[in-house]
Structure 1
Amino acid sequence: MTNDFQQRRFAAYRSAGRLLSGTRPQSLREGLAALADGPDPGYDLDQRPDVYGDGVVRALEERVAALLGLPDAAFFPTGTMAQQVALRYWADRTGSRVVAMHPLAHPEVHERRALTRLTGLHTVWPTAEPRLPTPDELRSCEEHFGTVALELPLRDAGFVLPTWSELTATVGAARELGARVHLDGARLWESTPHLGHSLPEICALADSVYVSCYKTLGGLSGALLAGDGAFVREARVWRHRYGGQIFRQWPAALSALAGLERELPLLEGYVTHAREIAAALATIPGARVNPSPPHTHQFQLWLPYGADALAEAGLRLAEEQGLALFGHWAPSAVPGRSMTEVTVAGPATEWSGDEVVEAVTALLALLKP
């Protein structure tokens, strides 16, 4: 995607009358204004700025630890760094450099093999099916592992979640095998409706948990690792060694606190509305929604057209009719079929199913000569 196309899309989506997937893009000036005038982050803004992780950063850590029902948490600039620290900690404790995870997990797909190149850890895949491994798959895994990393939800499989009984059975099998359990919970916040249990109940299954500050919550950046006191103390040591002990991080911390205030209470409603939006999209000829119904407020939409054609048609629809529907389109292994990820957040709650069908019909009309 060229810079010119990205700039066109930024301008069109920013000024569109209606937006379906995700949140409206902001200019730098608008982002600064939102940080200053947004929801009350629950922190005294007359306090001094943070210095190397104290102040507002520490307040965020304590707030997230309490929400997850865990003793402590440490703020990291990125989830990539946070998860490397967590997994190397458990490797040192178990004596095994092997981590069981899914081949579609974030460290395998989106981190340039950082886990192996920087930490010397290795991965084994108990299953390649688009779901979490079953207890039998863990027990019959071809290689011994010391840690199991479970991504909840598994984003690249379609933001899919197990049932609560499946999750507890998988965790139980890991324990039976003597393994530690780490939750890649970048999007854990929106997983409670499908699992039917609270954040503390979910996190109690694991030895450590990672959550994102910007996915779902809409913060500027950052992540947190949570666990017991010994785990978090050493995580902070490795954060410093990895270069994550940043002088000041108050904008990221404040935006995350604001996201906890603003977005967290709305997530169950987003998940409910995502099912209505997905059901409407599934009626479009040739469309496929995955999973159906969605497990969270995010899901995949597949259409039988080329990615470039869909991207250009979507941009024209936003520019000419003020309707901004979807973000990035990715081509599939099947020629002529493409996928986009749909995020049902605040803007999408203003759409009915019938309005979605009408807008997508207008999008597809722009594909025709």
Structure 2
Amino acid sequence: MTESISFVESFKQTQYQVAGNGKRNMQVLKEVFEQVDGQQESDIYGNGQIIESFQEKMATYLGKESAVFFPSGTMAQQIALRIWCDEKGVKKVAYHPLSHLEIHEEDGLKELHHIDTVLLGDEAGLIGLEDVLNLDQEIACLLLELPQREIGGQLPDYKTIVEISEYCKANGIRLHLDGARLFEILPHYQKSAAEICGLFDSVYISFYKGIGGLAGAILAGDKEFTQQSKVWKRRHGGDLISLYPYILSSNYYFEKRISKMELYYENAIELAMLFNSCPSIQTKPTVPVSNMFHVHISQPKEQLEAVLKEVYYKTGVGLTSYLKETNQSTYSFEVSIGDQYNSIPKDKLDEVFQLLKVKLK
């Protein structure tokens, strides 16, 4: 039965999935518009109450003077780094070797803005204070991603961020936060968003990851910075005539899910413990520091897919739709906990991991 369908299809046919907030289908937007007065005026080219009130709300939440709504984080972050480079007259920034800007944006920062990059730290680890102290090149800005997604969502201790912030301030280096998953790390640090953002000159946050909105991002900082970002947003074509579907969904799902971040974090710790109880499986980090982690399984791919398909078929619970090769004998996948995890009956979850323990021996 399981042999006749693909691995992806076997996942799609499961009744429950451990990760995420549900399917990204039209219902995501329909649910939002059910709450909206159809006569409400839309935003027009970056102006209007609907966008301005949301920007003010986010600026307050992040503890910043001002905030600007962008259609994408890719656009927002390239613009932030361009502004800081222009301010200092130095076309060079530093970030982690596995930063989104380095591996997922087709060299946009270099090709569009002619900004050179310094890759700081080791791919498998986090940027530490020593890495910053040992910088031998002048840079305009240092970007820190919290959490560092490509290595399982790892985080530095809070003291390290404070020390890096103080060093940058003392040495005329702007500090930018790639906070795509900022909301998700607040429970671990036991800090408010404003406390964390207070250590950075500029901050980007996403509304489609843990929040589960349609799309969209906020870029926040002081008023002079955000005014410049609006000019660059226009230059990048980011001022669509109206962005209200993204703004409304960002606000709606922010209100719906921001209070659940602690639950997602606790659920991630619980699920990682279950994975780590199985032979051949290790999570990174071992104990998650946000709602996300990576699962590494030391098994041949064909054998592993067959095991997972059987688990999916017998339990109706899907763990992942893909396997990424990390080396010749290990495959991995990412888990980001949202609303779906709590919908899985506990006996079903127990059955999943009992089967895995037997099949992976």
User: What stretches of structure 2 of length at least 5 have no aligned partner?
Assistant: none
SS at match of 2:143: strand
Report Cα offsets for 1:293-346 as digits up to 9, x if no partner: 1010100111112456545654565456421222432111x2121111111211
2:66 matches 1:72: yes
TM norm structure 1: 0.88
TM-align CA RMSD: 2.5
Determine the structure 2 residue equivalent to 1:124.
118
Tell me the distance in 2 between the aligned counterparts of 1:339 and 1:74: 36
How far residue 98 of structure 1 moved from its aligned partner, in angstroms, is 1.0
How far residue 261 of structure 1 moved from its aligned partner, in angstroms, is 0.7
Determine the structure 2 residue equivalent to 1:23.
21
2:209 matches 1:212: no
Superposed counterparts of 1:248-327, under 5 Å = 248-307=242-301, 310-311=304-305, 314=308, 317-318=311-312, 321-327=315-321
Compared CA separation, residues 104 and 7, structure 1 to 2 (3 A): closer
One-letter amino acid matched to 2:9: R
Determine the structure 1 residue equivalent to 2:30.
33
Determine the structure 2 residue equivalent to 1:345.
338
One-letter amino acid matched to 1:106: H
Compared CA separation, residues 195 and 52, structure 1 to 2 (3 A): same
Tell me the distance in 2 between the aligned counterparts of 1:198 and 1:8: 41
What is the aligned length? Answer: 356
2:9 matches 1:8: yes
Report Cα offsets for 1:131-186 as digits up to 9, x if no partner: 44222321211322121100011101110111111110111222232200000000
Determine the structure 2 residue equivalent to 1:52.
45
Could you tell me whether the CA contact under 8 Å between 1:133 and 1:170 is conserved in 2?
no
Compared CA separation, residues 311 and 143, structure 1 to 2 (3 A): farther
Q: 1:163 aligns with which of 157, 163, 167?
A: 157
Compared CA separation, residues 220 and 135, structure 1 to 2 (3 A): same
SS at match of 2:334: strand
Tell me the distance in 1 between the aligned counterparts of 2:30 and 2:217: 23
SS at match of 2:121: coil
Tell me the distance in 1 between the aligned counterparts of 2:276 and 2:259: 28
SS at match of 1:263: helix
Q: Percent identity?
A: 32
Determine the structure 2 residue equivalent to 1:228.
222
One-letter amino acid matched to 1:8: E
Which 10-residue stretch deviates more, 272-281 or 229-238?
Answer: 272-281
Tell me the distance in 1 between the aligned counterparts of 2:198 and 2:304: 43
How far residue 191 of structure 1 moved from its aligned partner, in angstroms, is 1.2
Could you tell me whether the CA contact under 8 Å between 2:315 and 2:352 is conserved in 1?
no
Tell me the distance in 1 between the aligned counterparts of 2:304 and 2:44: 46
One-letter amino acid matched to 1:304: S
Superposed counterparts of 1:105-116, under 5 Å = 105-116=99-110
2:86 matches 1:101: no
One-letter amino acid matched to 1:22: G
One-letter amino acid matched to 1:24: G
Report Cα offsets for 1:170-211 as digits up to 9, x if no partner: 112222322000000000111112222110011111110000
Compared CA separation, residues 103 and 47, structure 1 to 2 (3 A): same
Specify which structure has the bigger relative contact order, considering alpha-carbon pairs within 8 angstroms and separated by 6 or more residues.
2
2:153 matches 1:175: no
Tell me the distance in 1 between the aligned counterparts of 2:144 and 2:162: 12
TM norm structure 2: 0.90
SS at match of 2:287: coil
One-letter amino acid matched to 1:120: H
